[in-house]
Structure 1
Amino acid sequence: MGAMLMIRTQKVRIYPNRHMKKVLDSLCDYRRYCWNEGLATWNDMYDLYTLDSNSPGPSFYSVRNELVANKADWQYELSARTLQLAITDLGNAWKNFFDKAQPDWGKPTFKSKKAARQGFKTDRAKIVAGKLRLDKPRGTRDWYDITISKHTDLSGVLKVASIYRENGKYWASLPFEVELDTKPKTGDRSAVDVNVGHLNYTDGIIDTLPKRLRKLYQRIKFYQKQLAHKRVVNRKKATKSNNYGVMRAKLQRDYCKVANIQHDIMQKFTTKLVNDYDKIVIEDLSVKVMQMSHVASKGLQRSMFGYFRQTLSYKCKWYDKELILADSQYPSTQWCSKCGRIKSGSDKITLQGNASHQTKHNEYVCYGCGAILDRDENAVANLLDLI
């Protein structure tokens, strides 16, 4: 087994002092300002390009140069890398706009100061004596290293760090370039069929919406209704009351719990896949296109299809395993794994089953060979045929 250079990200909590809190808050605001200014400039350049093809179209370089040329005096007191990296991310967001398989696919929008999470990026951060040191702007006197939560592996070469504030706490995502040993070859293969609420694979089922998550979603729904009721009754005064702030904090706390539980499920499952199998097949789904209705959108978002694919992709690269993407038009659900007949027309299976033949959503009945199969197990068998 050989070693490969890979990026491994550590999410840690940081504890800035009173002065560095003000610095981090100002950098968060500056990042939002740079993004919004860059997006407005990008849109203006695109409008000019559509009217006159001789004018330069928007790009990372043209937008960045425009913002740098028009910098105000107060901007020189803040890190220049914040502006550079904000425009870099804006350019990547426009590239991802053409790839609907991305988990955060969509047209770039303006950032709001009311968003629960505010952050910035820097590629000049260092780890010094177990603390985080940010790049100090010119002319700044007071500058302090930031304490990092204990029991954290900080080995490797630090790349572009992301610092953000959420619910009054400060966090950092620290990507380190490290050497990782490849996993031993097992010679086995597997396929994963993603569904709302669970993932089917060769050896069983992974529940992505366990009971504890459903209880949290019920509580979140209750808090949302209460907050909406307060806004209707008290209008603009609602958000200024102590009760509103307390309930919103509870809502944000439960959202964090949900995210942690879901990420834990996906991380453990993807690690198991790369440990046990050499070749893994999944479907190349366009999640945004699948969100046909409000109910379907909520279920698809909670099932975290995009995050699952993203996590599995980088782990396969880490450990030299092969990830095969089935085309989005591949009829894994409609294909009979026994005789090869493909359902069409009124015979097709939908999320609710088949109304004309009165079959349930989890049943696959082949009208060619008469086989009665589990819908998800049949899809997994069809995906395995691609290897």
Structure 2
Amino acid sequence: MANKAYKFRLYPTEEQEQLLAKTFGCVRFVYNKMLTEQQETYEKYKDDKETLKKQKFPTPAKYKKEFAWLKEVDSLALANAQINLQKAYTNFFSGRAEFPKFKNRKARQSYTTNVVNGNIMLLDGYIKLPKLKLVKIKQHREIPSHHIIKSCTVSRTKTGKYYVSILTEYEHPPVQKEVQAVVGLDFSMNGLFVDSEKGKKANYPRFYRQALEKLAKEQRILSRRKKGSSRWHKQRLKVAKLHEKIANQRKDFLHKESHKLVKRYDCVVIEDLNMKGMSQALHFGKSVADNAWGMFTTFLGYKLEEQGKKLIKIDKWFPSSKTCSCCGQVKKSLSLSERKFRCDCGFVADRDWNASINIKREGLRLLALI
């Protein structure tokens, strides 16, 4: 079985918007309440790990007697808040994440609800959701009939737009396509990536950099407004819309580029890079964030997997930039400012193209071992 999510725009009525705002607030309230109790328990038994593990996790039902208004919203949304917190604690104790943090109003507003006895259904131009009943939906593509709806996540952006992400489950027999066409991609700070075939660049437009001047102007105006005033809220919306536009442009570009690669190649080889460390160590924070290499590799990964194709990640310490793709000699000293790779054998090429060829060869070597 495999899962796939479909995201659509929602157009709730004023009454439904009020109920959604209540649900977001109740989910946040319950999450923070349970987290407070867990923190107290953790502080009390942190030296006794066995006793700490035996402590029962608080449930949303516990608070409904004291806070009757919790009964107004979807109970499954509150139950999912408990599940999310339990996952956060599991990740913390296993060393995969930091200690869970409190949620605030400025964070992403969303909640998840599950399918129980036909409480979620797609109808003609509407979606039936618990407590909300029928909500208008812009369904720009059909969900295949063999996909079974499992849950829905309703979210609200900072610009006031509502979306629903419908998680579906379907039978997906494992398909392995014969690997014929392989490409290596080297991360490029300027153009997202350079491929190994002809040294072709993705030519990423750097949407954030393009909008930087306009964004700075709007944020400057916002800083002069009295916080909480109607003019402040109006200006805050302008800034939020600009950020949302940049994010949407970036996502659209990355989807299209990853789709092109998946359509053309059976295997894509990339480096397993630590982008957070790179942005901090080399002071390339804005460029790294604007490129969104992590998002791009995620899109690439699931698109390849769906078609039975492969994404191979090679070791980040592999000297792809310092190795000559012609003779294999490794140049120990090669500064970031040197954009041309020159080898003693006479080979001269663009630094990133040379690296992408080496990445492809290392990927082919690893592919042979699978």
TM normalised by structure 1 equals: 0.79
The verdict on how the C-alpha distance between 1:302 and 1:107 changes in structure 2, with shifts beyond 3 A counting, is: farther
Aligned match of 2:27: 31
Q: State the alpha-carbon separation in 1 of the partners of residues 189 and 143 from structure 2.
A: 37
Within 5 Å, which residues of 2 pair with 1:342-361? 342-344=330-332, 347-350=333-336, 353=337, 360=338
Question: Is the contact made by 2:46 and 2:52 (CA closer than 8 Å) also made in structure 1?
Answer: no
Q: State the alpha-carbon separation in 2 of the partners of residues 98 and 290 from structure 1.
A: 27
Aligned match of 1:71: 63
Question: Is the contact made by 2:269 and 2:314 (CA closer than 8 Å) also made in structure 1?
Answer: yes
Within 5 Å, which residues of 2 pair with 1:28-177? 28-57=24-53, 65-68=57-60, 70-73=62-65, 74=68, 75-93=70-88, 108-115=100-107, 117-124=108-115, 126-130=120-124, 131-136=126-131, 144-155=133-144, 156-166=147-157, 167-177=159-169
1:233-285 CA-to-partner distances (Å, cap 9, x unmatched) read xxxxx123333222211111111111111111111111111111111111111
Aligned match of 2:345: 369
Matching residue's letter, 1:364: F
Tell me whether 1:335 sits opposite 2:323 in the alignment: yes
Within 5 Å, which residues of 2 pair with 1:181-330? 187-198=180-191, 199-203=193-197, 204-210=200-206, 213-228=208-223, 230=224, 238-292=226-280, 295-330=283-318
Matching residue's letter, 1:191: G
How far has the Cα of 1:111 moved from its partner? 1.9
Matching residue's letter, 1:227: L
Q: State the alpha-carbon separation in 1 of the partners of residues 320 and 53 from structure 2.
A: 42
What do you get for the CA RMSD once the two structures are aligned?
3.1
Question: Is the contact made by 1:161 and 1:174 (CA closer than 8 Å) also made in structure 2?
Answer: yes
1:314 alignment partner, SS class: helix
The verdict on how the C-alpha distance between 1:369 and 1:250 changes in structure 2, with shifts beyond 3 A counting, is: same
Question: Is the contact made by 1:287 and 1:300 (CA closer than 8 Å) also made in structure 2?
Answer: yes
Aligned match of 2:358: 382
Aligned match of 1:22: 18
Q: State the alpha-carbon separation in 2 of the partners of residues 321 and 217 from structure 1.
A: 38
How far has the Cα of 1:320 moved from its partner? 0.5
Q: State the alpha-carbon separation in 1 of the partners of residues 281 and 300 from structure 2.
A: 27
The alignment of Structure 1 onto Structure 2 pairs a total of residues equal to: 349
TM normalised by structure 2 equals: 0.83
Aligned match of 1:10: 6
Question: Is the contact made by 2:59 and 2:82 (CA closer than 8 Å) also made in structure 1?
Answer: no
1:270-319 CA-to-partner distances (Å, cap 9, x unmatched) read 11111111111111112222221695122111110111111111112111
The verdict on how the C-alpha distance between 1:271 and 1:128 changes in structure 2, with shifts beyond 3 A counting, is: closer
Question: Is the contact made by 2:8 and 2:164 (CA closer than 8 Å) also made in structure 1?
Answer: yes
Q: State the alpha-carbon separation in 1 of the partners of residues 188 and 42 from structure 2.
A: 39
Question: Is the contact made by 1:161 and 1:173 (CA closer than 8 Å) also made in structure 2?
Answer: yes
Q: State the alpha-carbon separation in 2 of the partners of residues 314 and 99 from structure 1.
A: 26
The verdict on how the C-alpha distance between 1:179 and 1:90 changes in structure 2, with shifts beyond 3 A counting, is: same
Matching residue's letter, 2:326: K
How far has the Cα of 1:363 moved from its partner? 2.2
Q: State the alpha-carbon separation in 1 of the partners of residues 187 and 24 from structure 2.
A: 36
Gaps of 5+ in 2: 365-370
How far has the Cα of 1:42 moved from its partner? 4.4
Question: Is the contact made by 1:32 and 1:111 (CA closer than 8 Å) also made in structure 2?
Answer: yes
Aligned match of 2:367: none
% identical equivalent positions: 26
2:329 alignment partner, SS class: coil
Question: Is the contact made by 1:46 and 1:57 (CA closer than 8 Å) also made in structure 2?
Answer: no
